[in-house]
Amino acid sequence: MRKEILIGALLTACFIMPGLVMADETPLKNAPDGRPLALTFADEFHDFRPLGDPHGVWRTTFGNGHSRAEDRTLPDNGEQELYVDRDFWKGGEGPIPFRVHDGYLDIIANPAPPQLIPQLRGHRYTSGLITSQPSFSQLYGYFEMRAKLPDGKGMWPAFWLLPADETWPPEIDVLEAVSDPTHIYMSTHSARQPTVGVEAHVTPDAFHTYAVAWDASQIIFYIDGKQIGAQKTPADFHKPMYVLANLAIGGNWPGNPDASTHFPAILTIDYIRAYRFGP
């Protein structure tokens, strides 16, 4: 996610049409390769738990969200959204991009009302970001998100991992889609080697589970339990990471929304889970 353009850097590609996720959505006992798993983090989104609430889990900005525009967007990507939350409006009225219903979290993007654009530092869209920094990070493991992606020009949903020590790179992009929810990119960013990634295709308007198995020797990407690609773990990936999910709008890679883009655009998340590998 933290890059200007990814597609030109992809070195390998794998085109697979995964089947639909099975009805059993209980936490895994084993990874797809058979390794035992122990659940270490889970949010099933029966409610939304931002930091500051009792039992809060999710930070809704990069950093503390109070000092820099970069805490609420990634300007180097040319993104058009600002990630907002209830704290951003400081008691005033403004769109809230998070909605929980029936065990799902919707992250909702919309064009900004014209009268709010100055308050949004000129950004034309509002959207949402959740990160488990500082509530949860982990060195190695199996990380997964089950979600349905939005369609439309300029949409850029993502599920990714960043280091708890706030260095960059490394970065693991478990899921990115740009303007096409059927075309999935999964990649790593390292200071020690070029960007390595794979591509896959999924059925539209459906939930799929996007996952990565990461250990000291190998990184393996999965969709719906099917292996999409694997690579050796780069030398700078041996540090704890936290998880992020967001819906970016526009920018250098997907391009900006146009007249064909339907709003509200919604990234619907069923669950996010993390596991350690067992003995």
Query: What 3-state class would DSSP assign to 100?
Result: strand
Q: How far is CA 183 from CA 17, 151, 176, 225, 245, in A?
A: 10, 11, 9, 17, 17
pLDDT above 50 for 23: no
Confidence (pLDDT) at 11: 45
Angle at Cα 60 formed by Cα 54 and Cα 61, nearest 5°? Answer: 135
Residue 70 falls in the annotated catalytic set: no
CATH number, residue 130: 2.60.120.200
Q: Does residue 107 belong to any structural domain of this protein?
A: yes
In the block, which residue shows the tokens 């992020």? 244
- Catalytic residue among 79, 81, 144, 176, which? 176
DSSP state of 116: G
Q: Does some domain include residue 27? A: yes
- Residue 1 domain flag: no
Q: Which domain, by its residues, includes 134?
A: 7-277
Let me know if residue 176 belongs to a domain.
Answer: yes
Question: Does 190 reside within a domain?
Answer: yes
List 81, 144, 171, 199, catalytic entry: 171
- The C-alpha R_g of the chain, in whole angstroms, comes to 18
Q: Which tokens is 83 given?
A: 């990630």
Whole-number mean pLDDT of the chain? 91
Question: Does the pLDDT of residue 36 top 90, yes or no?
Answer: yes
Burial of 277 (0-12, 13-18, 19+ CB in 10 A): middle
pLDDT tens-digit map of 139-197: 999 999 999 999 999 999 999 999 999 999 999 999 999 999 999 999 999 999 899 99
Residue 240, amino acid: P
Has residue 273 got a pLDDT over 90?
Answer: yes
176 a catalytic residue: yes
Query: Are 113 and 125 within 8 A, CB to CB?
Result: no
Q: CB atoms < 10 A from the CB of 2, how many? A: 16
Contact criterion met (CB below 8 Å) for 13 and 199: yes
Question: What is the Cα 58 distance to its own chain's centre?
Answer: 13
In a domain, 2, yes or no: no
pLDDT digits (tens, 9 = 90+) for 194-233: 999 999 999 999 999 999 999 999 999 999 999 999 999 9
pTM attached to this predicted model: 0.92
The total domain count for the chain is 1
* Residue 37 scores a pLDDT above 80: yes
Give the Cα separation of 166 and 124 in Å (integer): 28
Is residue 168, in this structure, part of any structural domain at all?
yes
Among candidates 206, 226, 223, 175, which has minimal Cα distance to 270?
206
With 70 as the cut, is the pLDDT of residue 8 above it? no
